[in-house]
Amino acid sequence: MDAVILVALVLLTGLAVQSADLSCKTFEEIYPSGKELCEKMWGDGFVYETNLSVGFTMWFFEAENPNNKVAERLGWPSPVDDCHLQSLHKEAPGPEPDNFTECYPWRDYSCCHQDTVQKIKEAYGREWHWERCGALSSACNRFFVQLACLYECEPNAGFYRKFPDHVYNDSDPNHNKWQMEGMPIRADYCDSWFRACRYDLFCGSGSYSSCAREYTKVGNTGDNGGNAGLIAGVVVACVIVAVLIGTLGFFIFRERKGEPLFNKLEAE
């Protein structure tokens, strides 16, 4: 899904970035530390967790997903057998083929499809949506990819759906099935992210969606024709639509809800 978020925002906003018109600042200027990075960029999606035994990680190298143990310690049912979140997610987690390389740590038990990841990966160009202020360093960029994999592939992320099934009301326009809330992330992970991105540029006040809105406001020609050219075929087009509905909503919808964090940020 690295790709998922990417493509969605790339398509929404178009590829023609007027960097000069955005208020670009270094991460270091926007966020005092890894805590603010994790807690502000994605609204209330993530929480900075200093007790590492109960904080999730967005990437791992072990054969067994360490997040399973974390979820157990937090009292979530184990093993997790439902993906809960729905954007491009599978219904239930399961293995993916060997060529599942984009988000490979989750290969054995993933909520994202190899095909989805692969197609989307092929569909996006170099214009990662978070590169609105120019290319990010590869060290920094990597963390965005990891976040995207966590969101799309990590079964335990589903426990943090903002409107879980017992709350979700299909006829309430404010509800959705893709938004996350309050997932505790290991403090050292957030700190590493901050260090990696420290001197890279990002726009706006630090919330992902305010940056997106600012970007939209600045105006772009929406050069989707060229972009669409990259994306051959109806199947992929459908994926893109799903992505738009799902992922954009994920970020922008929460904005409409007037979340306190965003308001606070914008007031600054």
Amino acid at 140: C
Closest CB to ligand NAG among 74 and 218?
Answer: 74
Stretch that binds ligand NAG, among 60-68, 139-147, 169-177, 221-229 (CB under 6 A): 169-177
- Quick one: which of 69, 73, 256, 264 contacts ligand NAG (CB under 6 A)? 73
Closest CB to ligand NAG among 23 and 99?
Answer: 99
Shortest reach from residue 118's CB to ligand NAG, in Å? 5
CA distance 87 to 250: 9
- Quick one: which of 15, 54, 218, 244 contacts ligand NAG (CB under 6 A)? 54
How many residues bind ligand NAG, per CB under 6 A? 11
Q: Is 99 in the site for ligand NAG (CB under 6 A)?
A: yes
Q: Is 97 in the site for ligand NAG (CB under 6 A)?
A: yes
Shortest reach from residue 133's CB to ligand NAG, in Å? 32
CA distance 59 to 115: 20
Q: Is 53 in the site for ligand NAG (CB under 6 A)?
A: yes
Residues sharing a CB contact under 8 Å with residue 169, sequence separation 6 or more, in sequence order: 163, 175
Q: Is 78 in the site for ligand NAG (CB under 6 A)?
A: no
- Quick one: which of 51, 137, 221, 263 contacts ligand NAG (CB under 6 A)? 51
β-strand 183-186 against 46-49: which pairing, if any?
Answer: parallel
Closest CB to ligand NAG among 54 and 244?
Answer: 54
- Quick one: which of 172, 223, 232, 241 contacts ligand NAG (CB under 6 A)? 172
| Whether the Cβ atoms of residue 241 and residue 12 lie closer than 8 Å to each other | no
User: 261: closest CA among 173, 166, 182, 165?
Assistant: 182
CA distance 106 to 160: 18
DSSP state of 49: E
Per-residue 3-state assignment (H helix, E strand, C coil) for 175-218: CCCCCECCEEEEHHHHHHHHHHHCCCEEECCCCHHHHHHHHHHH
Contact positions with ligand NAG (CB under 6 A) in 113-132: 114, 118
User: Which residues are near ligand NAG by CB under 6 A?
Assistant: 51, 53-54, 73, 97, 99, 114, 118, 169, 171-172
